[in-house]
Amino acid sequence: MMPIVLIGAGGHCRSVIDVIEQNGQYKIAGIVDNSLSIGTNVFGYSILGNDEDLPKIALTFKYALISVGQIKSASLRIRLFNLALKAGFELPSIISPLAYVSKHASIGKGVVVMHNALINSNAIIGDNCIINSKALLEHDCEISNHCHISTNAIINGGVKIGPESFIGSGVITKQSITINKNSFIKAGSIVT
């Protein structure tokens, strides 16, 4: 198993840890968080340092994943993603073994696909996205960079979602619509 560093130690990190442990492709080397967390751990994984330590940590470890969640704004995830790339990390995509991703779908860098998500044929997922538990992305969807598709959201065929958007839990979209950049769609919405 290849060692990977997680960047962010909050609630989303705990879910990402579970996916990585189930996936079996990577071994968590530790977590980067704020200075107040150094010396603590999450599920037994040590906090290795803070954001300023990323270049030094990248000298030892090749892979990293952003494990900060995203609700109101993608700005923190974007900042950390860019810091990790600048430090020299590679950002692989991590897919739960309980998810289904069509072999005809495309997934960018640093994406996490959580348990029981389903990504159908010809779907395109950009970089640094969260495809959360039980999300359904139908055929021909295009999810731009830095988006969070929340739990149990249904993105019907041909939908295009602009960069840095948040799609809340249980959202249902009509097919073939476009959702603009920086959109915030609240939980339970029906988007037509």
102 token code pair: 């069509």
- Whether 27 and 2 have beta carbons less than 8 Å apart is answered as yes
Question: What does the alpha-carbon distance between residue 11 and residue 28 come to, in Å, rounded to a whole number?
Answer: 16
d(CA 151, CA 131): 8
In a 13 Å sphere around the CA of 159, the CA atoms on its Cβ side amount to 24
Kindly tell me if the per-residue pLDDT of 38 is higher than 80: no
pLDDT at residue number 116: 98
Residue 8 predicted with pLDDT over 80: yes
In angstroms and rounded to an integer, the radius of gyration of the C-alpha atoms of the chain is: 16
Burial of 40: CB neighbours in 10 Å, binned 0-12, 13-18, 19+: exposed
Mean pLDDT of 79-94: 97
Spatial contact of 82 and 54, defined as CB atoms under 8 Å apart: no
pLDDT digits (tens, 9 = 90+) for 114-134: 999 999 999 999 999 999 999
Which of the four pLDDT bands, split at 50, 70 and 90, describes residue 41? confident
What confidence tens digit (pLDDT) does each residue in 52-66 have? 999 999 999 999 999
Q: What is the predicted pLDDT for the residue at 174? A: 97
**Contact predicate 114/99, CB 8 Å:** yes
Q: Could you give all domains of the chain from N- to C-terminal order, each with its CATH number?
A: 2-92 (3.40.50.20), 95-192 (2.160.10.10)
For residue 40, pLDDT beyond 90 = no
Whether residue 79 has pLDDT greater than 90: yes
Cβ atoms 74, 59 nearer than 8 A: no
72: pLDDT confidence band, cut at 50, 70 and 90? confident
pTM of the model: 0.95
